[in-house]
């Protein structure tokens, strides 16, 4: 409900905005008078009546007829005499039109842990139900932005990727096996209150209509507040009840400045939004901002918000986690090989793959983001598997009597074909991701390029580096083991066997 005040009419009737607000507060009320015939504890009542009041005004005519002033002669001044009243919009700085027709824009967001496709289907079904049961004649709906289009496109791309990957993998296997101011008479408080209502509007009332809650806004009509000079033509009431123009006690000084003040953690701030340039990670962008921030004047500082704040607070957490994983893998392999040196052959063989991963990300101009890091984690597991295949076989052959050099060569020769087959099958399956287009293409290309580059380098150089690493660390380890095997060092080694002979009496 909008009450567009007319300051010139209010001045003519010697009315202030406080008079208008007081009348609205006193006449548009929620009343609950009580009950009559209610038992008072002395005498029982057979009938009881509940007294009710119509409640707050909820109709335009009711607000128009709000009495602002009345005298003993029966004369009265109503709100409609100094204002235009209408059931309008809450906001007039937001417009919603669709195909040149007025519309009401609604944005729906899914809740946590819900399925986007299911939500979209249910929303569409509900809209069709409401259209048939509740929409008035001539009203229709249209979905202007449908996330399901992106989801459908992404699913379709996944299907195509799986299809192409399956074909390529099958071919590789077949080849290898053959098969985001104020003076006088007016107070500062009264003057500011008048301006806040006239210019900024006020919302202190509300009512129920059409089974919904509506707000009541009181504000000067737009034609009375177009220019800064219009404020000087507004009037406020002094302590003697006289209407005084703002031009009598105030002046306007035009200055330059922000239209609003941003604050963050109680500090005045200037908000900056940005992203990493192509080929750079978010971590590198954050580091660049931190370097520039060192040149800020004394008393200035920076802080972060959103995902950047979380990333800065975590710092090098991802590197620490990665190192912990490597240590864990090292300890597991140390227990398996019963050596502190042999697992290093597996750990150091990952360097070639990690280098290839970062090289391909750089070549394709992609960012080292979460997608690249996921590909890197997957890569470490696959390359580690290749290294384990060679080292484990070579260690077994060495236990059987082969020299470290011969065991390394034999492990590389026997494991060469299965490593190439599984690795190139995986690489072939990544090709559709590397050349992906459409919805989600950047993410697909990043994770694909990261994994493919690492797998290619790790495989080609790995089959050469891994045997050499095994030979180096195997030679250092020698025949030393963490746990001594019983077959190598029998428990009774060095103890001379003795035979106990007891004399017995001969049989009778």
Q: Would you list the DSSP string of 366-430?
A: ---SHHHHHHHHHHHHHHHHHHHHHHHHHHHHHHTT--HHHHHHHHHHHHHHHHHHHHHHHHHHH
Length of the chain: 508
56 and 200 in one domain? Answer: yes
pTM here?
A: 0.50
Q: What pLDDT is stored for residue 508 in this prediction?
A: 43
Torsion 125-129-130-135 (CA) sign: positive
201 and 169 in one domain? Answer: no
Q: For the packed helices 441-477 and 370-399, what is the interaxial angle rounded to 10 degrees?
A: 30
Q: Edge-to-edge, what's the strand order for the sheet holding 83-86?
A: 83-86, 2-5, 212-220, 202-209
In a domain, 189, yes or no: yes
Taking 50 as the pLDDT cut, the residues of the chain under it are 180-182, 491-492, 499-500, 507-508
Cα angle vertex 53, ends 49, 55, to 5°? 145
Q: What pLDDT is stored for residue 337 in this prediction?
A: 77
375 and 430 in one domain? Answer: yes
115 and 209 in one domain? Answer: no
Distance, in Å, from the CA atom of 140 to the CA atom of 125, rounded to the nearest integer, reads: 14
In a domain, 139, yes or no: yes
406 and 452 in one domain? Answer: yes
Distance, in Å, from the CA atom of 90 to the CA atom of 217, rounded to the nearest integer, reads: 8
Q: Quick one: tokens of 107?
A: 């944005």
341 and 270 in one domain? Answer: no
Q: For the packed helices 404-434 and 147-177, what is the interaxial angle rounded to 10 degrees?
A: 140
Collapsing DSSP to helix, strand or coil, 69 comes out as strand
213 and 70 in one domain? Answer: yes
Contact 345, 473 (CB under 8 A): yes
Q: Quick one: tokens of 61?
A: 């005519």
Provide the number of structural domains found in the chain: 4
Q: What pLDDT is stored for residue 507 in this prediction?
A: 44
442 and 349 in one domain? Answer: yes
Q: What pLDDT is stored for residue 181 in this prediction?
A: 44
Distance, in Å, from the CA atom of 275 to the CA atom of 282, rounded to the nearest integer, reads: 7
Distance, in Å, from the CA atom of 388 to the CA atom of 390, rounded to the nearest integer, reads: 6
In a domain, 493, yes or no: no
- How far from chain centre, in Å, is Cα 29? 44
Radius of gyration of the chain (CA): 41
83 and 111 in one domain? Answer: no
In a domain, 257, yes or no: no
Reported in sequence order, the residue ranges of 131-238 that DSSP labels E, i.e. its strands, are: 202-209, 212-220, 235-237
In a domain, 48, yes or no: yes
In a domain, 328, yes or no: yes
In a domain, 504, yes or no: no
47 and 117 in one domain? Answer: no
439 and 341 in one domain? Answer: yes
143 and 36 in one domain? Answer: no
In a domain, 144, yes or no: yes
Domain of residue 14: give its range: 2-92+183-248
* CA-closest candidate to residue 81, choices 126, 130, 23: 23
Q: Which residue has the tokens 């229709």?
A: 140
Distance, in Å, from the CA atom of 19 to the CA atom of 8, rounded to the nearest integer, reads: 15
Q: CATH number of the domain at 234, please.
A: 3.30.2090.10
């Amino acid at each position: 409900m909008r009450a567009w005040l007319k300051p010139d009419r209010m001045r003519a009737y010697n009315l202030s905005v406080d008079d208008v607000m007081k009348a609205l507060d006193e006449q548009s009320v929620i009343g609950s008078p009580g009950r009559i015939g209610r038992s008072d504890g002395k005498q029982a009542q057979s009938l009881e009546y509940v007294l009710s009041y119509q409640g707050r005004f909820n109709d335009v005519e009711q607000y128009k007829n709000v009495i602002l002033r009345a005298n003993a002669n029966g004369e009265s001044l109503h709100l409609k005499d100094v204002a235009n009243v209408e059931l309008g919009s809450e906001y007039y700085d937001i417009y919603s039109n669709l195909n040149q027709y007025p519309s009401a824009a609604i944005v729906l967001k899914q809740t946590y842990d819900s399925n986007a496709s299911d939500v979209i289907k249910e929303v569409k079904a509900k809209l069709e139900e409401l259209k048939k049961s509740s929409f008035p004649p001539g009203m229709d709906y249209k979905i202007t932005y449908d996330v399901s289009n992106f989801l459908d496109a992404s699913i379709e791309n996944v299907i195509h990727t799986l299809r192409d990957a399956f074909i390529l993998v099958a071919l590789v296997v077949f080849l290898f096996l053959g098969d985001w101011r104020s003076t006088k008479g007016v107070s500062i408080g009264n003057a500011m209150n008048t301006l806040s209502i006239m210019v900024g509007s006020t919302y202190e009332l509300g009512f129920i209509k059409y089974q919904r809650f509506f707000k009541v806004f009181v504000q000067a009509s737009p034609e009375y507040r177009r220019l800064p000079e219009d404020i000087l033509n507004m009037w406020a009431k002094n302590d003697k009840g006289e209407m005084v123009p703002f031009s009598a006690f105030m002046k306007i000084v035009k200055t330059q400045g922000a239209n609003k003040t941003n604050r963050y953690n109680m500090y005045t701030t200037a908000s900056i939004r940005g992203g990493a340039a192509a080929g750079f990670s978010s971590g590198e962008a954050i580091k660049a901002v931190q370097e520039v921030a060192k040149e800020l004047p004394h008393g200035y500082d920076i802080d972060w918000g959103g995902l950047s704040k979380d990333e800065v607070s975590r710092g090098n957490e991802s590197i620490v986690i990665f190192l912990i994983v490597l240590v864990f893998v090292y300890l597991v392999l140390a227990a398996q090989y019963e050596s502190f040196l042999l697992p290093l052959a597996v750990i150091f063989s990952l360097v070639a793959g990690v280098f290839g991963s970062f090289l391909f990300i750089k070549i394709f101009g992609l960012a080292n983001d979460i997608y690249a890091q996921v590909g890197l984690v997957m890569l470490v597991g696959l390359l580690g598997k290749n290294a384990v295949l060679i080292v484990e076989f070579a260690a077994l052959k060495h236990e059987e009597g082969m020299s470290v050099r011969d065991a390394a060569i034999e492990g590389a020769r026997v494991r060469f074909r299965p490593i190439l087959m599984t690795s190139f099958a995986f690489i072939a399956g990544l090709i559709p991701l590397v050349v992906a287009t459409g919805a989600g293409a950047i993410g697909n290309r990043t994770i694909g390029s990261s994994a493919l580059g690492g797998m290619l380098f790790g495989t080609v150089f790995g089959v050469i580096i891994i045997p050499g690493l095994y030979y180096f660390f195997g030679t250092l380890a020698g025949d030393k083991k963490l746990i001594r095997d019983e077959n190598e060092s029998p428990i009774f080694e060095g103890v001379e066997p003795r035979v106990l002979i007891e004399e017995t009496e001969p049989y009778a």
